[in-house]
Structure 1
Amino acid sequence: MTIDHLASAKRTIDLEAKAVSGLLSRLNNNFSTACDIVMNCSGRVIVTGMGKSGHIGKKVAATLASTGTPAFFVHPAEASHGDLGMMTEDDVVLALSNSGTTAEVVSLLPLIKRLGIKLISVTGNLSSTLSLASDAPLNSGVDTEACPLNLAPTSSTTAQLVLGDALAIALLEARGFSAEDFAFSHPGGALGRKLLLKVSDVMHGDDDLPVCSPSTSVRDALFEITSKGLGMTLVLDNGTLKGIFTDGDLRRAMDHYDRVMPVALSEVMSTECKTVGPNMLAAEALALMEDWQITSLVVTDNNEVVGVVHLHNLLKAGVA
């Protein structure tokens, strides 16, 4: 028998897309209640689920933890053999079960209730044991699984995942969670470099700065530019920034003057140079360079020039 793999894939994606869009009509005030419960929690969110729901639960716990809501996953079977000691009355439990009757999850309900722990559930059956025991039951029900046998958890687990993401993002926004907050939980790799590095970490300063005065000739300025290797020089007058002179300014000056080398920088420099602060994220500085189509930014602190950050610095640091 010949199988049309492309048709099968399209059918699966279509069914799962419908499952996700169906969540919109199922959202109600219980979702707001769930958010309020977590925001008022002084402990952590303990996520639990069995089988495929457990795999989704692990991802939801990881997303919560990385977006400002302390959370971890507890396997419900292990919980009955000692891991229940991880739960305290200050915590919130987020339980996932498509049927809402998963034995390993339901068996935890008596202790959760005894400790007075708030319970949020994600189920496909609001009449189930788990849903009825919840303080905030969330409906992740789907009309059909993407599995042609309507057996393997597919559309239902996708719906659970999206609902978990929706909860995490709603909490992120409620907490005012920022890019810098995000960076502290992602310090490794390219993401950490993009979010943790500041301009002060990558800029040139002190003796590395190319500096000329307004009366400096273009000839002498070129020697300074060449020696410092940034393709530009600052133009300072008694420490006050008057402008910058770049290779672009040189080309424009050559079009205007027959003999450009003796001309003073005050006649050919750019006076409207772009400045940033040393505490700006390096990723933000890169975005400004891209927007303004320039390769360097002057770094000032309280109107005092403290450095220059060049595109090459950002590329070398792995920010781009």
Structure 2
Amino acid sequence: MSEHCPDSQTDLEFAQQVLKTERDAIGRIQVGGAFVEAVDLILRHTETGGGSLVVSGMGKSGIIGQKLSATFASTGTASHFLHPSEAMHGDLGRVRKGDVVLILSFGGNTDEVASLATVLKQDGVPVIGMVGKSDCDLGRLSTVVLEIGDVTEACPLNLAPTASTTAMLALGDALALAVSRRRDFGVDDFKRVHPAGSLGRQLMPVVQAMRFKAGENLPLVYEDNTVKEAFNHADAFAAEKNLRRTGAILIVDDAGALAGILTDADFRRLMLKDPNHGLDCKLSEVMTRQPRCIAADGIVRDAVQLVRELRIDEVPVVDADGKPVGLIDVQDLIALKVIEG
């Protein structure tokens, strides 16, 4: 190890400076009429015209472009990446007349990028150029120009693309999400393009994820029952159906609407507080009234949010009339791998 290796405090200070430099690069980006033109152009070609958004760039800009293409695709805009060098050796066939091309190049004068933009302009394919300054080859060849502006790289030598690529990524994300917003891209659309993985599971209807369903394997008790009666009923119900009892009891009023909940943790606290008379208490006296619930048309993500926010293990699921249809347990979420055990 070098004797001149900086101490950890110096490393931390340097890291903070890098983060500040990159944050400042994003903060200086100005969006205006050209941004709206770019959104309109992408929508016109990919929605009305039936084309795709092709994204291109060299080096680090190309890597950012690949990420942006994936973001566009996952938020409702058909997109793929085209390497500018490969484009000039046969891959231009990936671009159709109805497409629109987004090219990223901070300097805007890279030979491969300028050559691609020249051919696209000759073929009548619109180009959105994302550059540092519009006064460059790519800027002059583009239909719409998005400027990053002046950027000081976070690299001490001001050479390695760092702050500039961060700014490109941020502006590209803004463009992708603005297009998605204009499309009215909603949860159902997102679920269609994310059917698998954690994202897909979080968009699953909550009623599909819950194991405990009212009347099937989840008993409901009335608020005028005693704690002892409620637990005896729950145990007998589980034994009759050869099922595991839930970690909570759902309590309803005379109309069948959810009135409250009593969890095993609540029961333990009650017995510690009043071991002699706790079992004889009415549920209405000890239950948690108006517990936080999830609507039956909700999604798993709603349950995950409640479990994390309230630090609870059981969440009632109710219909439009407030009547329980089931209970989603934290173990259901762990089994789906949308929350850690």
Contact 2:253/2:259 (CA < 8 Å) preserved in 1?
no
Q: CA deviation at 1:105?
A: 1.8
Q: 1:158 to 1:298 in 2, by over 3 A?
A: closer
Structure 1 residue 22 corresponds to structure 2 residue 28:
yes
Name whichever of 193-202 and 68-77 sits farther off: 193-202
Q: CA deviation at 1:67?
A: 2.3
- Work out the CA distance in 1 between the residues paired with 2:135 and 2:314: 62
Name whichever of 157-166 and 235-244 sits farther off: 235-244
Q: CA deviation at 1:308?
A: 1.9
Contact 2:105/2:131 (CA < 8 Å) preserved in 1?
yes
Q: Which amino acid aligns with 1:134?
A: S
Q: 1:293 to 1:98 in 2, by over 3 A?
A: closer
Superposition pairs of residues 60-209 of structure 1, within 5 angstroms: 60-196=68-204, 198-205=206-213, 206-209=215-218
Provide TM-score, normalisation by structure 2.
Answer: 0.78
- Work out the CA distance in 2 between the residues paired with 1:15 and 1:145: 7
- Work out the CA distance in 1 between the residues paired with 2:99 and 2:126: 7
Q: Which amino acid aligns with 2:337?
A: G
Structure 1 partner of 2:219:
210
Name whichever of 166-175 and 5-14 sits farther off: 5-14
Provide TM-score, normalisation by structure 1.
Answer: 0.82
Q: 1:76 to 1:216 in 2, by over 3 A?
A: same
Q: CA deviation at 1:243?
A: 3.3
Q: 1:111 to 1:302 in 2, by over 3 A?
A: same
Q: Residue 145 of structure 2: SS of its match in structure 1? A: strand
Structure 1 residue 47 corresponds to structure 2 residue 55:
yes
Q: Which amino acid aligns with 2:25?
A: A
Contact 2:261/2:291 (CA < 8 Å) preserved in 1?
no
Structure 1 partner of 2:249:
233
Q: Residue 229 of structure 1: SS of its match in structure 2? A: coil
Q: 1:269 to 1:178 in 2, by over 3 A?
A: same
Q: 1:235 to 1:145 in 2, by over 3 A?
A: closer
Gap regions ≥5 residues in structure 1: none
Q: Which amino acid aligns with 1:299?
A: V
CA offsets 1:61-119 (integer angstroms, 9 cap, x no match): 12222222221110011111221111112211001122222221222234322442221
CA offsets 1:144-181 (integer angstroms, 9 cap, x no match): 43344443333332322222122123223333333554
- Work out the CA distance in 1 between the residues paired with 2:308 and 2:155: 46
Give the share of equivalent positions with the same residue, in percent: 35
- Work out the CA distance in 2 between the residues paired with 1:284 and 1:263: 33
Superposition pairs of residues 167-316 of structure 1, within 5 angstroms: 167-196=175-204, 198-205=206-213, 206-213=215-222, 216-226=225-235, 227=238, 228-235=244-251, 240-241=256-257, 243-244=259-260, 246=262, 247=264, 248=266, 259=277, 261=279, 272-289=290-307, 291=309, 294-303=312-321, 305-316=324-335
Name whichever of 27-36 and 306-315 sits farther off: 306-315
- Work out the CA distance in 1 between the residues paired with 2:305 and 2:17: 40
- Work out the CA distance in 2 between the residues paired with 1:239 and 1:72: 56
Q: Give me the CA root mean square deviation.
A: 3.3
Name whichever of 122-131 and 301-310 sits farther off: 301-310
Q: CA deviation at 1:45?
A: 0.9
Name whichever of 207-216 and 253-262 sits farther off: 253-262
- Work out the CA distance in 2 between the residues paired with 1:287 and 1:255: 31
- Work out the CA distance in 1 between the residues paired with 2:281 and 2:142: 79
Q: Residue 196 of structure 1: SS of its match in structure 2? A: coil
Q: 1:245 to 1:194 in 2, by over 3 A?
A: closer
Q: 1:212 to 1:156 in 2, by over 3 A?
A: closer
Structure 1 partner of 2:241:
none
CA offsets 1:244-287 (integer angstroms, 9 cap, x no match): 45243786599789655566656765664554332211221233
Q: Which amino acid aligns with 1:17?
A: R
- Work out the CA distance in 2 between the residues paired with 1:245 and 1:152: 58
Q: Which amino acid aligns with 2:56?
A: T
